[in-house]
Copies of this chain bind each other. A is one copy, B any other.
Amino acid sequence: MNMRQLLAVVLLTAAAARAADAPPPDAWRDVDPANLALMDTRYGQIAIELAPEFAPKHVERMRALIRAHFFDGKSFYRVIDGYVAQGGMENDTPASRAAWPPLKAEFDRPVGDDVMFTPLGSPDPFAPETGHANGFPAGRDAKEGRLWIVHCPGTFAFARDNAPDTASTEFYIVIGEAPRRLDRNLTAFGRVISGMQFVQKLKRGDRDIDNGVIKPGRARDPILRVRLAADLPAKARPHFQVQRTDSAAFAAAKQARMNPGTSFLVRLPPPVLDVCDTPVAVRGVKTSP
């Protein structure tokens, strides 16, 4: 065992000790319907949990766009396999710019007590520290006191122009190996909690042709409509729960992911986890009618 491995074991033991202190062994948090965007595609529904604690102005904008039916009938117009599915309005117009002025970037936020951060305890090439913040994959810089959602498969973010404060209406969803170089360079403020398999079905563009933008017309997959769960009648709302990362169950899930059974693994992998390959569990809850 080398120093890095030893360190990882120490951190994991510490994590297990913390987990033992957590009150409920298996605890779940309800997804707030005000933070739940439901995006219908021809393949199925994509459910996205928004994170106002990371980017309040972007979430506010997203809710307003949804309520204005801005996305309905638009498309996924730039889809690059292994990278991102980008959707919304391809080109701004003077009218759209007036209606939806550019947002100030919310690339990261201060560390704070309003977010439950559970360190992963694994080295990461891109961030001083990674873990989960309110269930979202996150990076943390304790020295700078900053926290941010990292670009993992399923991460939801707003695109922008070259200048930082230019996001307005266009979104993207990460669909491939985590493009971590984008962390803290774009405002990531949510993640797909259900329906990722439908995102993966979206028609791709060609990265080498027009940077992945698909020619207008039928080749683009439409965004049929987007609604906020809070705007649906209570009975019609899907109800999701996200596993709390301070639970013993999540600590156990991480252990199991790191080592899915010595009966199967011949060579024990290094005791480390990639934050983007360590999803926090989500479950649908049937609500009585």
Contacts and interface: CB of A to CB of B under 8 A. Distances in A.
Interface in A181-225: 181-185, 196-197, 200-201, 204
B181 A152 contact: no
A126 B269 contact: yes
Given A177-B177, A277-B178, A126 B270 contact: yes
B274 A177 contact: yes
Contacts of A196: 81-82
A200 B83 CA distance: 13
Residues of A contacting B: mostly: loop
Contacts of A200: 81, 175, 200-201
A125 B270 contact: yes
A179 B277 contact: yes
Interface stretch (A16-24, A51-59, A230-238, A256-264): A256-264
A197 B264 contact: no
A274 B176 CA distance: 12
Contact of A197 (B81, B272, B276): B81
Contacts of A125: 122-125, 270, 272, 274
A153 B272 CA distance: 19
Interface string A242-258: 00000000000000011
A153 B181 contact: no
Nearest to A165: B266
A162 interface: yes
Contacts of A154: 82
A279 interface: yes
A107 B266 CA distance: 10
Nearest to A80: B197
A95 interface: no
A274 B185 contact: no
A267 interface: yes
Nearest to A108: B267
19 contacts: A81-B197, A107-B266, A107-B267, A123-B123, A123-B125, A125-B125, A125-B272, A125-B274, A126-B272, A152-B177, A177-B177, A178-B277, A179-B277, A180-B274, A181-B257, A181-B265, A181-B269, A184-B266, A185-B265
Interface of A: 81-82, 105, 107, 122-126, 152-154, 162, 164, 175-185, 196-197, 200-201, 204, 257-260, 263-267, 269-270, 272, 274, 276-277, 279
Given A107-B266, A177-B178, A185-B269, 7 more contacts: A123-B125, A153-B176, A177-B274, A177-B276, A181-B260, A200-B200, A201-B201
